[in-house]
Structure 1
Amino acid sequence: MSTPAPTDLASLRAALEADPDLIALREVLRHHLAEDPQGEDPGHDEAHCMRVALWTLRLAPEVPARLAIAAALLHDVVNLPKDDPARHEASTRSAKVARAALEERGFDAADVTLVCDAIRDHSFSRGATPATALGRALQDADRLEALGALGLCRTLSTGARMGARYFDPADPWAARRELDDRAFTVDHFFTKLLALPETMLTERGREEGRKRAAFLRAFLGQLGEELGALPPL
């Protein structure tokens, strides 16, 4: 079955609803979300997967749409907490779940491998460089979610879930201490987020990433003004 390439979230939802296999994969995602012992995580919910799907399509228009959507739907189907020692295994476990779901739906063996390899290699914590256009697009699309207004929302909610403070009141920019993003959420901008655009593997991903990182720098600048201590940007 050929799925037309969606251009926005509305057409993406329509494409998904028109494909019984994608509907079935969405049900796999929903089942795992409902069973997640962490409870609802707004940073890794179905809406996140749909946004990742849309950007995967934008970054790799040459990839069949249904494969890009399938990869995005299941890329975080196993979601381990950020502070879990096995966090780096989450994408490998997600790929295993995806393989079973795709094979059950009768996807071609080559397509199953393509999608599962992309899922396995997309994770930042795994540190892999994907070898395919789908893999590179999926990785970039997922990293874009960590930047911009969405990234700000996700960073603050993740920090709250981990019990982190917003920042160190005595030293918000870590001028006299080591960065510690498990204790202070703002530190995460400097340990990871602001460097993400230069890790993007697609030209459009880097361009969008730089734009979204500029928003985060503007936020940090405003925070610094309110604290009376400007950040080292």
Structure 2
Amino acid sequence: MFSQYQEQCQAFIVEHMKTDLAHDLLHVQRVVKLATEIAESEHAELNVVLPAAWLHDCLSYPKNHALRTLSSLHAADKAIVFLRSIDYPEQYLLAIHHAIAAHSVSGGIKAESLEAKIVQDADRLDALGAIGVARCIQVSSQLQRPLYSASDAFAEQRTLDDQQFTIDHFYTKLLKLSKTMHTEMGKTIAQQRTQWMKGYLAQLALEL
């Protein structure tokens, strides 16, 4: 059923999504792909998962914005207004709202439904692996943060501070994401991508 609404959802995202270098249409498309694969493996309700995946970043405050922690909740509200405007079946809207509201790490809302867990897994997987490294560097560059501390690159004798150094974000957040996955497929992919990131950090250490 969702296929008849997909073009409208994509057009809405293109028009309304406030993008940064790491949160753009390409990110949304990757999350949709991952969410679809996980949902099919879990026999979840695609009429909830797919619109939530497409619209999860329809509103996103910048990383350093005072309202950053409310991004996912405000995105959920905005998505439901849009879905009602295109006559999306009402029976799915509450579940879609929850799936979007719960997707963000910073939002702090626990994913309760299977569909919300799938969207959350898919979004977090896009922060891992090769694409995760690239996105992390993109965001940090936009915020004008250096890659590492010149005096202590891997925080061996200082407190980690990912507000100051890009590499610190791997240790404060990214390398911990695999432990937050809900689905079996999500866990498997997350572990693989986390190992790749650890390899990247090991190689970086050799080059510094």
Aligned partner (choices 152, 161, 184) of residue 133 of structure 2: 152
Quote the Cα distance in structure 2 between the aligned partners of 1:28 and 1:45: 13
Does 1:44 pair with 2:23? yes
1:66 Cα deviation from its structure 2 partner? 4.2
The correspondence of residues 102-117 of structure 1 with structure 2, limited to 5 A, is 102-117=83-98
1:10 alignment partner in structure 2:
none
Seq. identity, %: 32
Give the residue type in structure 1 aligned to 2:90.
A
1:133-191 Cα offsets, whole Å, 9 max, x none, are 11000000000011000000000000001110000011001122111111110000000
Aligned partner (choices 161, 169, 173) of residue 154 of structure 2: 173
1:33-91 Cα offsets, whole Å, 9 max, x none, are 3xx3xxx5231111111111111122222234343221111101111111112111000
Q: Greater relative contact order: 1 or 2 (C-alpha under 8 angstroms, separation 6 or more)?
A: 2
How many residues of Structure 1 are paired with residues of Structure 2 in the alignment? Answer: 206
Quote the Cα distance in structure 2 between the aligned partners of 1:89 and 1:127: 9
Please say if residues 163 and 183 of structure 1, whose CA atoms lie closer than 8 Å, have aligned partners that are also in contact. no
Aligned partner (choices 21, 26, 38) of residue 59 of structure 1: 38
Structure of larger gyration radius? 1
Quote the Cα distance in structure 2 between the aligned partners of 1:70 and 1:152: 27
Q: With structure 1 as the length reference, what TM-score do the two structures score?
A: 0.85
Please say if residues 22 and 66 of structure 1, whose CA atoms lie closer than 8 Å, have aligned partners that are also in contact. no
Quote the Cα distance in structure 1 between the aligned partners of 2:149 and 2:126: 25
Please say if residues 21 and 142 of structure 2, whose CA atoms lie closer than 8 Å, have aligned partners that are also in contact. no
Quote the Cα distance in structure 1 between the aligned partners of 2:99 and 2:14: 20
Structure 1 unaligned residues grouped into runs of 5+: 4-15, 228-233
Quote the Cα distance in structure 2 between the aligned partners of 1:177 and 1:76: 34
1:195 Cα deviation from its structure 2 partner? 0.6
More helix by proportion, 1 or 2?
Answer: 2
Give the residue type in structure 2 aligned to 1:218.
G
Please say if residues 56 and 134 of structure 1, whose CA atoms lie closer than 8 Å, have aligned partners that are also in contact. no
Structure 2 unaligned residues grouped into runs of 5+: none
Quote the Cα distance in structure 1 between the aligned partners of 2:97 and 2:183: 20
Does 1:72 pair with 2:53? yes
1:98 alignment partner in structure 2:
79
Q: With structure 2 as the length reference, what TM-score do the two structures score?
A: 0.94
Please say if residues 178 and 194 of structure 2, whose CA atoms lie closer than 8 Å, have aligned partners that are also in contact. yes
Aligned partner (choices 24, 30, 41) of residue 14 of structure 2: 30
The correspondence of residues 179-198 of structure 1 with structure 2, limited to 5 A, is 179-198=160-179
